[in-house]
Amino acid sequence: MEKKMIISGKIEETRNQIKEWKRQGLSVGLVPTMGYLHEGHRSLMEAARRENDKVAVSIFVNPIQFGPGEDFASYPRDLDKDAALCESIGVDLVFHPEASEMYDEGFCTYVDMDGLTKELCGRSRPTHFRGVQTVVSKLFHIIPADRAYFGQKDAQQLAVVRRMVRDMSMDIEIVGCPIIREQDGLAKSSRNTYLNDEERQAALVLSRSLAEGRKLVEAGERDTAAIKKCIAEVIGQEKLARIDYVEIVDFSDITPIDSLQDAKEGEALCAIAVYIGKTRLIDNFIFHVS
């Protein structure tokens, strides 16, 4: 008889299950999420399913990565729908803790870093990545997987987690997976549900502006100021859009660069954050410099 997917809200129970799989010599893939799963999450889970014997998905809206006035309380949640999607893909375990399970009363230990978290989203969300690193580090201890899967849409998060793993000598492989988009180009995001019909149409300016920037790069432009100007001009044509940032950085350390040729490891990240109405959306592309 096929074994039913485990749903656990307890650290000890989850940890014991992972230990049992490890004792059996099975590999484990972890997909950390905040739930309200969409096709982008599906792609991560499917990659984990292909590459591991067992797959664990965490569903936890992490309070400490939200700043004052951000959307923690209103962030969309639907565990039943999420669990059904996980089960359809063949996920073996869903870890769905309460905040009180993850953070005891008096919790005061955080994981933070200099450098990579100061630019891009770190400017307007100064405590965000401390919260991300802390919860991801906790998840890696609770679920000591062989591999963990993160989407490129949150490219700065991917870079931060990779550096944390390297700097802290964590025994886990971080796998980055491509951005998944709607048919019209909008990057999949749980926050897309905040958009009304007019805003949903306006949000297409993100992918459209990046496409124009990419065209310029592919035509040979290497000056980042010129590329950013092109992208910002496209966004500026949309009346519902307000730019938070348009930046091009070295993907390895998230430092601004003047030319794509300055990317130390040959990867430049062009990243944007744009408010459509009250909803803040992000998108990006990575250019491999030859």
pLDDT digits 0-9 by tens, 27-67: 999 999 999 999 999 999 999 999 999 999 999 999 999 99
User: Which one is catalytic: 41, 96, 141, 288?
Assistant: 41
Q: Which CATH number fits domain 190-285: 3.30.1300.10, 3.40.50.2000, 3.40.50.720, 3.30.2350.10?
A: 3.30.1300.10
Amino acid present at 228: K
Q: What pLDDT sits at residue 87?
A: 98
Buried b vs exposed e over 5-35: b needs ≥16 C-beta within 10 Å? bebbeebeebbebbeebeeeeeebbbbbbbb
A 10 A CB-CB count for 228 gives 18
Q: What pLDDT sits at residue 3?
A: 75
Max CA separation in the chain (angstroms) = 61
Residue-wise pLDDT tens digits, 72-89: 999 999 999 999 999 999
Q: Residue 271 and residue 254: Cα distance in Å, rounded?
A: 10
Question: Across 123-206, where does the E strand assignment appear?
Answer: 147-151, 173-177
- Fold held by 6-177: Rossmann fold (3.40.50)
A 10 A CB-CB count for 59 gives 24
DSSP state at residue 191 = G
- The segment(s) of the chain belonging to CATH 3.30.1300.10 are 190-285
Q: Residue 85 and residue 264: Cα distance in Å, rounded?
A: 40
Structure tokens belonging to residue 12: 């000890």
Q: Residue 144 and residue 14: Cα distance in Å, rounded?
A: 11
- The segment(s) of the chain belonging to CATH 3.40.50.620 are 6-177
Residues of the chain with pLDDT under 50: 1
Q: What pLDDT sits at residue 133?
A: 98
Q: What pLDDT sits at residue 2?
A: 61
Q: Residue 139 and residue 137: Cα distance in Å, rounded?
A: 5
DSSP state at residue 290 = -
Q: Quick check: 142 and 95 in contact, CB under 8 A? A: yes
141 is catalytic: no
CA torsion sign for 160, 163, 169, 172 is: positive
